[in-house]
Amino acid sequence: MTSFGEVDLQRIFSYIDARQDEYLTRLVDYLRRPSISAYGEGIGEVATYLEQLMTRIGLQTRVMPTAGWPMVVGERLNCPGKPTLLFYGHYDVQPPDPLEAWISPPFEPTIRDGRLYARGVGDNKGQHFAHLLAMEALLACLGELPCNVKILLEGEEEIGSPQMPVVMREHGHEVMADLVVISDGPVDVSGRSVLSFGVRGVLSFELRARGANRDLHSGNWGEVPQNPLWTLVHLLATMKNERGEITIDGFYDRVLPLTEEERHALAQLPLDEAAIKRDLGIQHFAQPRERSVPERLAAWPTLTLNGLHGGYAGPGSKTVLPGEAVAKCDIRLVEAQSAEDIFARVQAHVREYAPDVEIIYQGAMDPSKTPLDSPYAGPMRRAISLAQGQDPLLVPALGGSLPQYVFTKILGMPVFGVPYANADEANHAPNENLEVWRFFQGIKTSVAILTTLAEGIEVRD
């Protein structure tokens, strides 16, 4: 049994502060290496680079092949009786295009005004590199990690993590842990740090209606064959009403109401609704108008009509009767809806109201939520406060979608999101950047998470 008693965090923080230049140089070396999952550039090289780097730090590391790009998995499990934490991150990056919009080239990391500019610096290399450096610093200062750690770095997050559910159903035992910590995305726009407990899911599909076998003259042929655009308009009108309610049978059946604690956490978010309206140039929010923005994003499913296409929408007029029409839709799902169940309900709805309309599935991710009263929530909050000097905002679920359900639903582990990047990190865009001080604060936060977990919780066998 390894035991450290009270860890002197300030001593480790000083150790980190004394190595800022070295850490930055090493991050720059990592960022110089493209690893673009969209077309495979540099993926294998960076997986090998990480394998060597993690082995040098003292993790048992291997590259795990998948049917797509490989995952890099490391672990150090020398603390019997202590919790095991899994860090999840991704080493692939978005394509850097448009190149001409970058002030400095995407794979030539450059510091300007206290920010490091490079593709992948925030999303996600700088953030998981902070976890690795935290482990290195802890090993240097304490001789051993304070709890058991595993780390999983995948190479396909930016293309939707297609292999994650497949690989985790088969090899999930290799990454099993007491909790998962993900550092990706930005802190709150106010600059406050965030501890997030979940994400919404997403289901994308297309509705395709057909009329005549070609476009026709609306005078010579109007109202002779059915107009597929009208078919879609009528069908879509049966799916959502003017009060903003989605009217697909059973759509809300599984939606879990917010707990008191979640409601309280959402009310604490420093969000200026008047400023949002000004920024978006709108007078009102969509129906139901009285619903708060945080509650909309965390607790309610949506049906978004992404596009409705057919016939002619160019300049001037064209009296055409279209032969085909398409509607693209996405549904954001909340706990405890499932993409499979909701897609079946959409199919049944289309069969009932417009049986000739074809429905084409285009991908899905289930929602994920960890309870705010999880036994690990307290230590996570404490760790963030210790490293950052302020209590984090608690976000029950992010509006967007990430494959966290793989951990919560397939493997049954609680998942916590602790983003390290600035709100204007420009991920997926030109001039992606990370405020340099946030990188160092991230290393300290990872240190605090590992030590606080070790002190705060004894796990049962």
Residues that bind Zn ion (CB under 5 A): 123
334: tokens are: 């909340």
d(CA 58, CA 371): 33
Residue 94 CB, shortest distance to Zn ion, in Å, is 6
Residue 263 phi, psi (nearest 5):
-60, -40
Residue 174 CB, shortest distance to Zn ion, in Å, is 24
Residue 258 CB, shortest distance to Zn ion, in Å, is 28
Estimate to the nearest angstrom the gap between the alpha carbon of 180 and the chain centroid: 14
Q: Which is nearer to Zn ion, 123 or 455 (CB)?
A: 123
Q: Which is nearer to Zn ion, 131 or 345 (CB)?
A: 131
Q: Which is nearer to Zn ion, 4 or 129 (CB)?
A: 129
Of the candidates 425, 418, 423, 424, the one whose C-alpha atom is nearest the C-alpha of residue 118 is 425
Residue 122 CB, shortest distance to Zn ion, in Å, is 9
**Close Cβ partners of 373 (under 8 Å, ≥ 6 residues apart):** 261
Q: Which is nearer to Zn ion, 383 or 402 (CB)?
A: 402
DSSP string of 193-260? Answer: -EEE-EE-EEEEEEEEEE-SSS-EEHHHHTTSS--HHHHHHHHHHTTB-TTS-B-STTTTTTPPPPPH
Residue nearest to Zn ion (CB): 123
DSSP 87: E
Q: Which is nearer to Zn ion, 75 or 123 (CB)?
A: 123
**Close Cβ partners of 143 (under 8 Å, ≥ 6 residues apart):** none
Would you say 452 and 382 are in contact if contact means Cβ atoms under 8 Å apart?
A: yes
Name the β-bridge partners of 308. Answer: 327
Q: Which is nearer to Zn ion, 37 or 61 (CB)?
A: 37
Residue 394 CB, shortest distance to Zn ion, in Å, is 23
Residue 120 CB, shortest distance to Zn ion, in Å, is 9
177: tokens are: 């842990």
148: tokens are: 């058991």
Residue 432 CB, shortest distance to Zn ion, in Å, is 10
d(CA 292, CA 295): 5
Residue 184 CB, shortest distance to Zn ion, in Å, is 7
Q: Which is nearer to Zn ion, 123 or 425 (CB)?
A: 123
Helix axes 436-456, 377-388, angle to 10 degrees: 140
d(CA 241, CA 76): 54
Q: Which is nearer to Zn ion, 109 or 185 (CB)?
A: 185
Would you say 459 and 80 are in contact if contact means Cβ atoms under 8 Å apart?
A: no
